[in-house]
Structure 1
Amino acid sequence: MKKRVIATTLVAAMLIGTAFSASGCSSEGSSDGKTHITMLQYKPEAVKAFEKMEAEFNATHDDIVLKIESPNDAMTVLKTRLIKEDAPDIIGIGGDVNYSNFLDAQILMDISDFEGLSLIKQAYLDIDKNLEFVPMDGVYAVPYVANAAGVLYNREMFKKNKWEVPTTWQEFMDLCDEIKASGQQPLYFGYKDVWTCLAPWNALACDLAPADVCRQVNKGETKFIDEYPEVAEKMLELLDHAQDDPFAYNYNDACTAFANGESAMYCIGSYAVPQIQSVNPDMDIDSFVMPGCDNADDNVLNSGVDLQFCVTNQCKNKEAAYEVLEFMLEDSTIQTYLDDQNAVPCKDTEFELSPTLDGMVDYINEGKMVDYQDHYYPAEMSVDAQIQTFLLDGDVEKFLNKFDTDWIRYNRDIIRKVQEYEEKGGNE
C-alpha cells in the first residue's frame, strides 16, 4: 500500500492498444557476445540492494549481463517505454492495480513453465491470481517479497507498563483506554498525508469484509455500503484514541513521534520501520495483526505482494530471463533484500526476519493473510482522500454511497468485462 502510483485510465487504454514488436531490450548479438538482460524495478528506496544483486549476478555469470534500472518515477518511465515498444526484459512491480492493467493489456509473458514458481508460498500466488480482472490462463509474475500491515508497538513501553497485546477489537479498545488513563498516548496518525488513511483501513477491511469484495461488486453481487459499514465505524473509533488533530501531521511526523515514544502504537505497515528507525535506531519495535474481529481466530494478516518480477512479451531470450529470476530466488539474494528493506519473503523457506515482525510470524508461516483491498481501487477514485474526508465529517452512509457511485463511474469498463465473462459462464 505504500505510496503507490496507479495507471490512469488513459495510460491503461494506450497500453491495451499497443501491439508489440520484436524490439525488446535483450541483446543476443551484442559486440561482447553476451546476452544482455535489462530489469526495471519500481522501488528506488531499495537501489543499494539491487546494485549489490546486479554486481553479484554479473560476477558469477559469464554469458549474461544484467542491468537493473531503478528510476525514481519508475511507473511513469515504464509506461512510457511500453507505449514506445521499448520494454525492459523484466519488470519489478507491486501486486496492485498497475499489475492488473498490465495483464489486461497483454504485455506480460506467461511464465507457467518457470520452475521457481514451485518455491513460492501459495497464498501469494493466490493473491496475484485474484488481481486478474477476469480469470486468465497462465502465471504472469513471481511474487518476491511482501509487506505486512497492522499495528506497530513500542515493545519497551509495553513491557514497562505490563500491557498485553490485544487479540480482539474490544481488547484493543480497552488497551487504548488504559494507555490514555495512564497519561500516555495510545495511537498516532499522519493523516495529513492522505495515503496513510489506507493503512488502518486495509487492515480492518481484511478482517471485516470479504477478501474478494471488489470482484463481488463488479459482478453485481453486493455493494460497498453493505460490506464496509463496520470498517468505517471502527475507523472512527480509532480516531477517539489518536493525538489531537491527526490531520495536521504527515507520515514523517507520525513516524518521528512514534520513534520518540510519543505514542505506544502506530497503525501502519512494516514498510514504515526503516523511516522510524532512521530517527531512533535503537527503538525496540514489534507488531501485531489488526484485531478487528470480536473473535481472535477470525483475524487475518494484511499482507500484499510488495515486489514481484514479470517477464515482458518483448523479451527475446526467455531462458536468460529465467536464469536471472533463478538468481533472484536464491536464499542469499532474498536475504540481501530482506536485510535492506525489512520485508516478508514470498519464497516458502525459512529466512531471518526482522524482530519487528515477531508478532506476525505465525500468520506469515501459516499463510493466513489477505491482500490490501486498495490494490483493487482505481487511482481516479482517490479512495485515500475519500477516507480522509469521511473521517473529518463522520458520515458513514454518505461516504459509502459515494464509494459505490464512484466505483461504477471509474470501473465501468472493468465491470462490463467481468459481467460479460460471467454471462458466458465464467470459468465453468
Structure 2
Amino acid sequence: MTVLKTRFIREDNPDIIGIGGDVNFSNFIDSDMLMDISDYQGLDSIKDAYKEIDKALEFVPEDGVYAVPYVANAAGILYNRELFKEHGWQIPTTWDEFMSLCQEIQDAGIQPLYFGFKDTWTCLAPWNSIAVDLAPADVCRQVNQGNATFEKEYKEVADRMLELIQYGPDDPFAYDYNGACTAFAKGEAAMYPIGSYAIPQIQSVNPDMDIDSFVTPASNDPSENKLNSGVDLQFCVMNDCENKEAAYEVLDFLLEDENVQTYLDDQKAVPCKEGDFTLPATLDGMKEYIEEGKMADYQDHYYPTEMAVDAQIQTFLMKKDKDAFLKKFDTDWTRYNRDIIRKVQDYEEKNGEGEN
C-alpha cells in the first residue's frame, strides 16, 4: 500500500490495482480515484454478500460499483483436528461452551490457545471475530451518525477479550505472529484465534498438520454467531485508465474458474465468485456459513490507520482497564474521523436521513 500511494503521489497510476476491502478502499472511493465499473458483466457472478460488504465501506453512499471482490479470508479459531479427535472434544456453538472447552483442554494438561500478541496487529484477529457477533455490523457508521458510542457497543467485546487471554500462555505478548504460528504448528496449543491467511504460514512449518477451523462463538445465542469474513483481494480500475475494455479483459481472465481455484488452493482462501469451487479442508468447519452467506466484515476495515486500534487493544489487554480503553476509543475516533463524520452528517441532513 505504501508503494501504491507513492505511485499515486507521482501520478504514476496503474490501470488496475489489487487491494483489500478496507479503509484504504474507502479513502480511494472518497477521493474519486476509482472508476465506476457498474457495466462490467463479471460482477453478475460475484456473491451478493461480498458486494454488500464493499458497498458498506463507502463513507457516504455512492452511485456505482468500484471493485470486483475476488477472494476473501475467514477469521475464527483454527484448531488441531487430530488432537480434537484424540480427546473427543466437541466444537462449541456458544461462548459458554467455548470457555468450558478451553477449561477442559487446560485440565488435560494442554495449552488451549496461542496468540502472537507481541505483534500488535494480531490482537485484531480475535477482536474482529468476537465483535461481528456482539456489535452491530454498521457500528462505525452509527457512531459517525452520532447514534451510538463504542463505549456502549464494544463493552461486551472487551469483556470477552479479557476472558479469552486467560487460556493463553502466561505471557500472551511474548510471541510474535511467526512464533505463534510455529508454536501451533508444533502442537504446543490446541487452538489459535487467527484468520485463514495464517494457514500457509503454519503449514510451511508442519505441512502434514491436520488443521480445521470454526466460527468464534462469541454469543450465547448460536443464531447470532457469524463468520468473520472480509474481502482479502479485489480488483479496481483507476479512473484515469485509458482503455477500459482492455482492463475488463484482464478482469475476465482473473475471474476464470480455473484461475480462481488456483488462488484458493494456494492461499486457502474463500471465493467471492459464485460457482462450484473446492474449498480447502482447513475451512470445513466454516463451510455452512460460507454457503449460506452468514458473515460480516472485519470491523477494523473501518478503523483509520492513524488511530492504531491494534496497539490500543494490546495496551488494554496488558493493563486491563476497560473503561479507559473504551473512553479513548471514542475520543480518538472523533479526533481521527472528524472530516468523515462531518461529511456523513452533511449527507444525511441533505438526504433527510439525520434521524435514522
TM-score over 0.5 (shorter chain): yes
Deviation at residue 272 of structure 1 after TM alignment? 0.3
* 2:157 alignment partner in structure 1: 231
The structure, 1 or 2, with the larger RCO (C-alpha pairs under 8 Å, 6+ apart) is: 2
Is the Cα–Cα contact under 8 Å of residues 88 and 314 in structure 1 kept in the other structure? Answer: no
* 2:331 maps to which of 391, 396, 405: 405
For residue 246 of structure 1, give the secondary structure of its aligned residue in structure 2: coil
**Structure 2: stretches of 5+ with no match in the other structure:** none
* 2:141 alignment partner in structure 1: 215
Is the Cα–Cα contact under 8 Å of residues 135 and 427 in structure 1 kept in the other structure? Answer: no
* 1:416 maps to which of 338, 342, 345: 342
Is the Cα–Cα contact under 8 Å of residues 141 and 311 in structure 1 kept in the other structure? Answer: yes
TM-score using structure 1 length: 0.82
TM-score using structure 2 length: 0.98
Answering whether residue 87 of structure 2 is matched by residue 190 of structure 1, we say: no
* 1:393 maps to which of 307, 319, 325: 319
Answering whether residue 305 of structure 2 is matched by residue 379 of structure 1, we say: yes
User: In the alignment, residue 166 of structure 2 is paired with which amino acid?
Assistant: D
- C-alpha distance in 2 between matches for 1:381 and 1:314: 31
- C-alpha distance in 2 between matches for 1:308 and 1:91: 8
Deviation at residue 85 of structure 1 after TM alignment? 2.1
Answering whether residue 32 of structure 2 is matched by residue 95 of structure 1, we say: no
- C-alpha distance in 2 between matches for 1:82 and 1:181: 55
Deviation at residue 83 of structure 1 after TM alignment? 2.1
Is the Cα–Cα contact under 8 Å of residues 189 and 267 in structure 1 kept in the other structure? Answer: yes
* 1:86 alignment partner in structure 2: 12
Is the Cα–Cα contact under 8 Å of residues 100 and 131 in structure 1 kept in the other structure? Answer: yes
* 2:77 maps to which of 128, 141, 151: 151
User: In the alignment, residue 86 of structure 2 is paired with which amino acid?
Assistant: K
Structure 1 runs, 4 residues or longer, greater than 4 Å off: none
* 2:107 maps to which of 177, 181, 205: 181
Deviations 1:314-341 (A, max 9, x none): 1111011101101111100101111111
Deviation at residue 377 of structure 1 after TM alignment? 0.3
For residue 208 of structure 2, give the secondary structure of its aligned residue in structure 1: coil
Deviation at residue 243 of structure 1 after TM alignment? 1.0
- C-alpha distance in 2 between matches for 1:165 and 1:306: 26
- C-alpha distance in 2 between matches for 1:294 and 1:178: 18
Deviation at residue 313 of structure 1 after TM alignment? 1.1
Is the Cα–Cα contact under 8 Å of residues 109 and 140 in structure 1 kept in the other structure? Answer: yes
Aligned pairs, how many?
A: 354
* 1:70 alignment partner in structure 2: none
* 1:163 maps to which of 83, 89, 95: 89
Deviation at residue 297 of structure 1 after TM alignment? 1.4
Going from structure 1 to structure 2, the CA distance change for 1:212 and 1:317 (only over 3 Å counts) comes to same
Structure index of larger Rg: 1
Deviation at residue 79 of structure 1 after TM alignment? 1.2
Task: Please give the residue correspondences for 1:20-419 in structure 2 after superposition, counting only pairs within 5 Å.
Answer: 75-419=1-345
* 1:43 alignment partner in structure 2: none
User: In the alignment, residue 147 of structure 2 is paired with which amino acid?
Assistant: E
For residue 194 of structure 2, give the secondary structure of its aligned residue in structure 1: coil
**Structure 1: stretches of 5+ with no match in the other structure:** 1-74
User: In the alignment, residue 71 of structure 2 is paired with which amino acid?
Assistant: V
CA RMSD of aligned residues (A): 1.0
Deviation at residue 427 of structure 1 after TM alignment? 7.1
Deviations 1:7-51 (A, max 9, x none): xxxxxxxxxxxxxxxxxxxxxxxxxxxxxxxxxxxxxxxxxxxxx
- C-alpha distance in 2 between matches for 1:247 and 1:238: 14
- C-alpha distance in 1 between matches for 2:251 and 2:80: 37
Deviations 1:153-203 (A, max 9, x none): 000000000000001000000000100111111111110000000000000
Deviation at residue 426 of structure 1 after TM alignment? 5.3
